[in-house]
Amino acid sequence: MFLIILIKSLIIGGLVGVGVGAGAARMFHAPTTQGMGAFRTLAS
């Protein structure tokens, strides 16, 4: 049971890390699309 929770937390942590990294990159490169990225992050 603990192992499953650990694996899920690692997967979620990785997805959040990728999302934050992509959001930061978008913020610097294309500010207009950053709003859509934030909305997509909240929706998913």
Per-residue model confidence (pLDDT) at position 22: 78
Provide the pLDDT for residue 3. 93
The predicted-structure confidence for 4-40, as pLDDT tens digits, reads as follows 999 999 888 888 888 887 777 776 665 555 556 666 6
pLDDT on residue 4: 92
List Cα–Cα distances, 41 to 2, 4, 17, 36, in angstroms.
Answer: 27, 24, 12, 9
pLDDT at res. 13: 84
pLDDT of residue 18: 81
Question: pLDDT by residue (tens digit) across 2-14?
Answer: 999 999 998 888 8
